[in-house]
Chain A
Amino acid sequence: MAGSPDHLFNLRNNFYLGSYQAAINNSDLPNLSPDDAVERDCLVYRSYIAFGSYQLVINEIDSSAATPLQAVKLLALYLSNPHDKESTISSLKEWLADPAIGNNPILRLIAGIIFTHEEGYNEALKHTNAGGTMELHALNVQIFIKMHRSDYAERQLRVMQQIDEDHTLTQLANAWLNLAVGGSKIQEAYLIFQDFSEKYPMTGLILNGKAVCCMHMGNFDEAETLLLEALNKDAKDPETLANLVVCSLHLGKSSSRYLSQLKLTHPEHILVKRASSAEDSFERAVQSVA
């Protein structure tokens, strides 16, 4: 890293740690180089996407914008219209095949995200595994975790640690991996989130991270406290609601309100999907046993 202060540091950190509003609000940075400005815009638009404001992103990015921004727009298109993914994916594939822009890290990142959504992990990895940016590496870690290949995830993490061990994404990826492998590593994950909470303003993401660690350590009471704090920050955050459902179940409390809230606001959430498929499989099993 160069000695000069990193202008986008705060913006990136806010984005990674889930304080999207702060990222948007503090994006007006003076004296940015053109490259930095594009990166800034990407982060801001991706923050809007994280909020679910897809249409804003689609409208604001016009066809003359730089490739990374086009890629971000593609992500917004993909997420905004779950029924017509094919056209988005096909144009994505088209772009990836174009040697002029196909190597753009943001485009590759977006490709990784979209293919991961499609559960096409191999396809995703095809574009992301080469790395190049911390974000790509972090996404790789996540994909490997999703594939239940913590050995590969660990290798990716080591690459990240060699680049910058103290980078927020490195720390985050480390926490994800620790949680995925479990055991004594959970505690380390907790400490990482604890570090974040001491260093940066509390966000729902950090609180959820801590809460998940607590749950994995069997400490559901503390997890509940943390999750309720997160709920205070954002009453509609799907992960907070989902984790609250789980946490309440373990505490023997009623989880139905959180569940119905989640069903209402995020019908596509993995917990909702799992629950409904479980219901189906229960009925199926009743048939088969009977």
Chain B
Amino acid sequence: MLTKFETKSNRVKGLSFHTKRPWILASLHSGVIQLWDYRMGTLIDRFDEHDGPVRGVHFHMSQPLFVSGGDDYKIKVWNYKLHRCLFTLLGHLDYIRTVQFHHEHPWIVSASDDQTIRIWNWQSRTCISVLTGHNHYVMCASFHPKEDLVVSASLDQTVRVWDVSSLKKKGASPADDILRLSQMNTDLFGGVDAVVKYVLEGHDRGVNWAAFHPTLPLIVSGADDRQVKLWRMNDTKAWEVDTLRGHMNNVSCVMFHAKQDIIVSNSEDKSIRVWDATKRTGLQTFRREHDRFWILAAHPEINLLAAGHDSGMIVFKLERERPAFAVSGDSLFYAKDRFLRYYDFSTQKETQIVPIRRAGSTTLNQCPRTLSYSPTENAVLICSDVDGGTYELYQIPKDSIGRSDLQEAKRGPGSSAIFVARNRFAVLDKSNNQVLIKNLKNEVVRKSGLPVPTDAIFYAGTGNLLCRSDDRVVVFDLQQRLVLGDLQAPFVKYVVWSSDMESVALLSKHSIIITSKKLVHQCTFHETIRVKSGAWDENGVFIYTTPNHIKYCLPNGDSGIIRTLDVPIYLTKVSGNKIFCLDRDGKNKTLVIDATEYIFKLSLLRKRYDHVMSMIRNSQLCGEAVIAYLQQKGFPEVALHFVKDEKTRFNLAIESGNIQIAVASAKEIDDKDHWYRLGVEALRQGNAGIVEYAYQRTKNFERLSFLYLINGNLEKLSKMLKIAEVKNDVMGQFHNALYLGDIQERVKILENAGHLPLAYVTASVHGLHDVAERLAAELGDDVPSFPEGKEPSLMPPAPIICGGDWPLLRVMKGIFEGGFDSTGRGAVDEEEEGADGDWGEDLDMVDSDGLQNGDVTAILEDGEVAEDNEEGGWDLEDLELPPEVETPRVNARSSVFVAPTPGMPVSQIWTQRSSLAADHAAAGNFDTAKRLLSRQLGIRNFTPLKSMFLDLHTGSHSYLRAFSSAPVVSLAVERGWSESASPNVRGPPALVFNFSQLDEKLKAGYKATTDGKFTEALRLFLNILHTIPLIVVESRREVDEVKELIIIAKEYVLGLQMELKRRELKDNPVRQQELAAYFTHCNLQMPHLRLALRNAMTICFKAKNLATAANFARRLLETNPNENHSKAARQVLQASERNMTDASQLNYDFRNPFVTCGATYVPIYRGQKDVSCPYCTTRFVPTQEGQLCTICDLAVIGADASGLLCSPSQIR
């Protein structure tokens, strides 16, 4: 039993759950009805109008109503929103035992000690039926959840089932009820509207409770004979099925569980018992020490039960509902309905993987409790409470997810089991306080004692354990047996690691502690209600759920609510603004949340002001809370951007020192206080202009005068003097005069104010003797005397400069101010785009032309065909093993030890198994490689191939530092590796050249040609020709492509060589024309052909060989050139049509098909004799035989050769 909530009170006689809200009503023996929020654990309301015990209480399904019935014979209907009783139904003549609303009709059924059951219409507030028949107290009566039946239990030892269908017909409309009012008295006794259908006899004592099964035609009853009886009914009869014995005293209440096949009963024997409804055996018993049980209630929708007893009530669950799950990368593994299931977060698909063991239903709560997944082993450990803690190990079938044959799981005892490393899992052995480290065969590899008394273990990174004891957790390194971290923490229930394994969240019942991986405390969050689950988002924010909220925790300890929840969920993963979770039915759900607030706060915290700024600019968030947060965190200048209210804005501006905004706001507000504060801040910053402005606005003349004095602004000071004079402000006048150093004025003011002695003193001290004398005359005898030896000093020094603002204080704004205008960036983007355009065009052209080669790549990528196994299952071991020498192991260091003979290096195997030159070169067997090439392709000149040979050889081995200071191990790298390759069977060497690289080079060559970089292009095409002899491809098809590539490269090499030659020949126009003409007969890509034709056309046209030029122009037009070129071609055509002649004779007959000799660059017309290069197939005039091919620079012209061998498929 999982107790969720408990109250202490007077005896609880009636209970009712609210359908939607987490509320429960408890009616007490004292007459009070309490309304509790069982989730928050608070008393929401109490209703105290009944006189004497209230035995029955019931919530309405949908309206804010509940009904109660008590020993005062009254049935009261209450509105809990209005906190008052709406009306009272009177009629019963004795205690009322139970009351219940009908689920759809406006009816209430009540059972009473007056031996009747009454059905009331609470809308018309009348009794519509009185069910008589019981001849003792009726202890309970309730409607069937679907059918028109009522079941009642009575101390007359019977259970009765009543048919109330006739009421429905009669009570179709409220008007009928009123009509029937008069009738009612007549059929008060022996009414015909509700009839007894069955009378169930079998209990030997009074029956206290009877209840329908929610879906099946079953009834369960409990009686003072201490028995629970199960009844079945059909259309015509009802009969006793079985009796459940076990209670030691009167059974108070009994009911079917809505979702499971169990019966729950409670009794005055102070116990609640759970029974298997099919096997009719007791499953579990929960006892209380002193309290007799009186009532049970089930939540209509969720898995909650409540029981009332002598001193209060409990709300509880029978079974845990949290699904066991484990998250690994993008995968979620969880247990549901006896199956291990898999959910892919990216595709949001779920699959059933393997069935898991069906827990014997001998006791409750045997479902999987925790689940641990090992991605490397693709295995799952499931722990449950079966037999006091058992784990089961399931291997997930690799290929056939969804196949559901039951595999026998490996299992063992232990309440906690988790994977700790590859092929290792730890099982907690609580009794010896140690962990057993096991491998996947379920064999114990090691045992390790634990540093603290541990009752659960959690994963804590490879090779580490997080051990939980009552009040602390430790991270323990299994290999070193060292405690890496230790932290006091209230009983930790769940542990959630961040994806980088750097932070961990420890979830307790009411708190979350976030620590580093070594358990260094970072922050703690407290909750008033239960913490249900949590997950880390990608940014290091911890998201968690309580029963009714999703909340976030920031690394600095700030937290907040993201959204509310209707039902508890279990978070599995947070990804951006998506939250993945499992609900209580084990269904995967995705919630979209607004992550703005916490991302904003996180960005602030991490000082990622660019993010902050962009979020402000998009103004996705606003509100007092954010402003307050910003202010509190010391970012008033950021908050400034949110505020509309001028006063707040002013305050923030002052706080952040933003004078401009402050002035603007002050103008808007325009009251003295704000101007004053603006003045103070401006003065602090040294912004005298604003200070002056602020003082002017508030007419604060004294301050203004002082400001002018400080600034040395005499002009304005004298103005102030005048203003004071006008205002008749003597003191102000005097001050200003004093500041100005204007003695005459001072004397005058003093005189006017009647301070003659002072005026006299002032005048005489400052040497205004005439005035002094005049005053002395006026004063007569009262002329004051002067103290001796004092110099007058009331003259202000003359100002050096009259300044405006002082040097201003630097006000922190930088990051934010700058960022709000976003014009700067666009320009760069545009520029880049422009560049892109250019590139794109270039590429496009080459791409479209190189289409055929595109295919080549595709095919190349297609085929990782099987390796060559030409010599069957040739195995190193078999060949080279010396006769088995029994090496004496005892004292083996003596000379008896015979070391094994060295095995065969892999490179040697390569040469033995391959007749491909590249393989031999990679193996370092250059000699044979060269012989092969010479035989196959007639190659004699190896100098161009030197670097290729060396690269192949260098690239064939990798280097592994093994034992420190010992020589490194070089390892042969093999090509065509696959997961399923068997070890010890050697593949051919990995080669540094591959066909796709050549393809790249070909493209580069095309591009260089297009760009007119002929030397560069020539180099690239030659490189292709030089690499091909050392290329290895897999399939026959690719062999053909390689051969094609030779031809392509050869044509280009020939063409480019001729073109380069032509450029050298400045003074031989005829030869120039010829070479240009031959170039057009090389097999070129269309754009290149076009260029060659234009070239040839121009040269010939310039040399007045109009007929030939016309031919080129015609051919050019056939290639669909662009506007400009076709125009030129047409012009040439027009010009030459007028005069179809050639000025000079060329060795060029375009009507007669020919190939060009690769060495002499003369046409070899069809039918003429020629010799060719055995490798690149270039043709030559016969005189070239025996020479080195000038095109490929490798083979000897006319040499014998067996042909290109570049694939193992050619040998098979």
The interface of chain A, by Cβ under 8 A from chain B, is: 3-6, 9-10, 15-16, 18, 46, 49-50, 75, 79, 103, 108, 112-113, 116-117, 121-122, 125-127, 129-130, 135, 138-139, 142, 144-152, 165-166, 172, 176, 178-187, 191-192, 195, 198-199, 205, 208-209, 212, 215-218, 238-239, 242-243, 245-246, 249-250, 252, 255, 269-271, 274-275, 278-279, 281-282, 284-286, 288-290
Contact = CB atoms under 8 A, between A and B. Distances in A.
A245 B954 contact: yes
12 contacts: A5-B480, A9-B482, A129-B893, A130-B891, A148-B904, A166-B437, A176-B960, A180-B971, A191-B422, A198-B462, A243-B958, A281-B924
A64 B632 CA distance: 68
Given A3-B481, A46-B965, A212-B958, A183 B982 contact: yes
Q: Which 4 A-B pairs have the closest CB atoms?
A: A148-B903, A183-B983, A183-B981, A249-B955
B897 A125 contact: yes
Given A148-B905, A281-B926, A113 B966 contact: yes
B20 interface: no
Contacts of A50: 964-965
A242 B959 CA distance: 7
Contacts of A79: 965
A121 B977 CA distance: 30
A88 B896 CA distance: 26
Given A130-B891, A183-B984, A184-B983, A150 B962 contact: no
Interface stretch (B350-358, B597-605, B835-843, B986-994): B986-994
A147 to B, nearest CB: 4
A165 to B, nearest CB: 6
Contacts, number: 239
B576 interface: no
B794 to A, nearest CB: 75
Contact of A151 (B449, B877, B957, B969): B877
Contact of A187 (B437, B887, B979): B979
A181 B562 CA distance: 55
A198 B895 CA distance: 44
A282 B946 contact: yes
B954 A239 contact: no
B1000 interface: yes
A271 B954 contact: yes
A148 B906 contact: yes
Contacts of B953: 274-275, 278
Contacts of B877: 151
Nearest to B448: A3
B462 A195 contact: yes
Contacts of A255: 951, 954
Interface in B893-915: 893, 895, 897, 899-900, 902-906
A218 B482 CA distance: 39
A199 B462 contact: yes
B970 interface: yes
Contact of B961 (A18, A116, A151, A187): A18
B959 A286 contact: no
Interface in B519-572: none
B980 to A, nearest CB: 6
B376 A191 contact: yes
Given A117-B967, A182-B983, A246-B959, 19 more contacts: A6-B480, A108-B893, A113-B966, A144-B900, A145-B969, A146-B969, A151-B881, A182-B981, A184-B980, A195-B421, A199-B461, A199-B462, A208-B960, A212-B971, A243-B958, A252-B992, A281-B924, A284-B927, A286-B943
Contacts of B955: 246, 249-250
Nearest to B420: A166
Contacts of A278: 924, 926, 949-950, 953-954
A144 B969 CA distance: 11
B924 A129 contact: no
B282 interface: no
B892 interface: yes
A233 to B, nearest CB: 13
A216 B977 contact: yes
A115 to B, nearest CB: 10
A173 to B, nearest CB: 8
Contact of A122 (B891, B899, B966): B899
Interface of B: 376, 421-422, 424, 437, 445-446, 449, 461-463, 479-482, 501, 876-877, 881, 887, 891-893, 895, 897, 899-900, 902-906, 924, 926-927, 929-931, 934, 940, 942-943, 946, 949-951, 953-955, 957-977, 979-987, 990, 992, 997, 1000
Nearest to B926: A285
A282 B979 contact: no
Contacts of B981: 182-184
Contacts of A208: 959-961
A212 B992 CA distance: 15
Nearest to B480: A9
Contacts of B984: 150, 181-183
Contact of A274 (B421, B893, B924, B980): B924
Of A148, A245, A286, which is in contact with the most chain B CB atoms at under 10 Å from its CB?
A: A148
A275 B963 contact: no
Contacts of B950: 275, 278-279, 282
A216 B924 contact: no
Contacts of A209: 960
A3 B934 CA distance: 69
B30 to A, nearest CB: 62
Contact of A113 (B446, B965, B985): B965
Contacts of A113: 963, 965-966
Of B445, B449, B501, which is in contact with the most chain A CB atoms at under 10 Å from its CB?
A: B445
A245 B904 CA distance: 25
Contacts of B446: 166
B967 A270 contact: yes
A216 B973 CA distance: 5
B657 to A, nearest CB: 43
Contacts of B895: 126
A286 B942 CA distance: 7
A126 B888 CA distance: 12
A238 B976 CA distance: 27
B1074 to A, nearest CB: 36
Contacts of B983: 178, 181-185
Contacts of A166: 421, 424, 437, 445-446, 463, 479
A289 B934 contact: yes
Contacts of A183: 977, 981-985
Contact of B480 (A10, A178, A290): A10
A289 B1000 contact: no
Contacts of A129: 887, 892-893, 897, 899
Contacts of B876: 148
A282 B926 contact: yes
Contacts of A195: 421-422, 462
Contact of B903 (A9, A15, A150, A186): A150
Contacts of A5: 480-482
A216 B942 contact: no
Contact of A165 (B445, B906, B942, B968): B445
B970 A126 contact: no
A249 B480 contact: no
Nearest to B376: A191
Of B480, B924, B954, which is in contact with the most chain A CB atoms at under 10 Å from its CB?
A: B954
Given A165-B445, A183-B983, A249-B992, A199 B463 contact: yes
A15 B964 contact: yes
Contacts of A239: 959-961, 968
B967 A116 contact: yes
A231 to B, nearest CB: 14
A172 B961 CA distance: 11
A42 B95 CA distance: 93
